Amino acid sequence: MKVLNLCAAVLAGVMLAACAPRSSGPALWRLADADSEIWLLGTVHVLSPGVKWRTARIEQAFDAAETVWFEAPTDEAAVAEIGALVAQLGANPPGVTLTSLLNAEENARYARVAKSLGVETASLEAARPWIAALQLSLALLTRQGADPNSGVETALEADAARRGKKMAYFESAALQMHIFADLPPAAEKRFFLATLRQIEEEADTTDEMDRLWANGRVDELGKLLQRQIDEAGPEVADALIHKRNAAWTAEIDAMMAGKGRVFIAVGTAHLTGPRGVPALLRAKGYAVEGP
């Protein structure tokens, strides 16, 4: 399991099933000056191998890029680091269990969700709520036919390596794990409870998100994603989305001060809405083409 991809899938809330319809393609943004060109692609981190997303525009932008930026590395070294961090940061203190952190009503919903996904609650008793939320989300993705080791970035990283393109990353594996692990206890629990409710009540929104993403309808998709993020609470939204968007915008600003052609592939949730990266770049005065 690539936990980085799983984390990002949960953040974005985009869980694609198989058999996506033909479409105009996912959204792209572009900004450029005399000696720089940057393309931004809103991605899906976990999807069925059958989903078609490679449009001519995406291929042309990727082909022209000298450097490809992703959220974080997912190579063997990063996966090993993640495994060690999960063991270090993902377990409850001695004597504390996951179910002991929940009241009777919350435990009842947790039991229903776990049973519906074929997950034994005993297997998650030692897990902190954020780890349990990710594991349950992974189980849902798998049940819906998605491949946790498949996704847009996975394919693009392989292509970039094969073509000898330079790859760069906004974050480290450790930083991504600490985004979850450093949440205040109340915010972490709210994230877990929001995940339970969304799995139990909104799993059937997958097809709608699939359709909106594949057709580049970012305004509608952004509203759905924002509602899911908001349910997890302001601390979660700030840590998982807003602070990272601001940091990435600063990095892109620095790229524009240099020169070269760059292709950026990050989760769609980071590119939509008034606090998304394109909006932040426009606020800095850049003429960003795209939705």
> What is the C-alpha separation between 136 and 119, in angstroms, rounded?
8
Query: Does residue 209 fall inside a structural domain?
Result: yes
118 in a structural domain: yes
pLDDT score for 207: 67
Q: Which residues pair with 37 in a beta bridge?
A: 32, 261
Predicted TM-score (pTM) of the model is 0.89
Q: Could you read off the pLDDT tens digit of each residue along the chain, which spans 291 residues?
A: 344 444 544 444 433 333 333 447 899 999 999 999 999 999 877 776 567 789 999 999 999 999 999 999 988 888 899 999 999 999 999 999 999 999 999 999 999 999 999 999 999 999 999 999 999 998 998 888 877 677 889 889 999 999 999 999 999 999 999 999 999 999 999 999 999 999 999 877 766 777 788 888 888 988 888 888 999 999 999 999 999 999 999 999 999 999 999 999 999 999 999 999 999 999 999 999 998
Rg (the chain; Cα; Å): 19
Q: Is residue 114 part of a domain?
A: yes
Strand partners, 91: 127
DSSP output for 235-291 = HHHIIIIIHHHHHHHHHHHHHHHS-EEEEEEEEGGGTSSTTSHHHHHHHTT---B--
pLDDT of residue 22: 40
Residue 174's alpha-carbon distances to 42, 72, 185, 274, in angstroms, are 23, 9, 19, 28
Structural contact between residues 86 and 177, judged by C-beta atoms closer than 8 angstroms: yes
For residue 54, being part of any structural domain is answered with yes
Q: Is residue 290 one of the residues assigned to a domain?
A: no
Total domain count for the chain? 1
Does residue 102 fall inside a structural domain?
Answer: yes
Sheet holding 36-43, edge to edge: 28-32, 36-43, 260-267, 67-70, 166-169
Look at residue 68 and give its three-state secondary structure: strand
Residue 288 domain-assigned (yes or no): no
Please report the DSSP string for 116-140 in residue order.
HHT--GGGGTTB-HHHHHHHHHHHH
Name beta bridge partners: 289: 30
On whether residue 289 sits in a domain, the answer given is no
Look up residue 92 and give its DSSP letter: P
Q: Which residues pair with 43 in a beta bridge?
A: 267
> Which residues constitute the domain of residue 239?
3-283
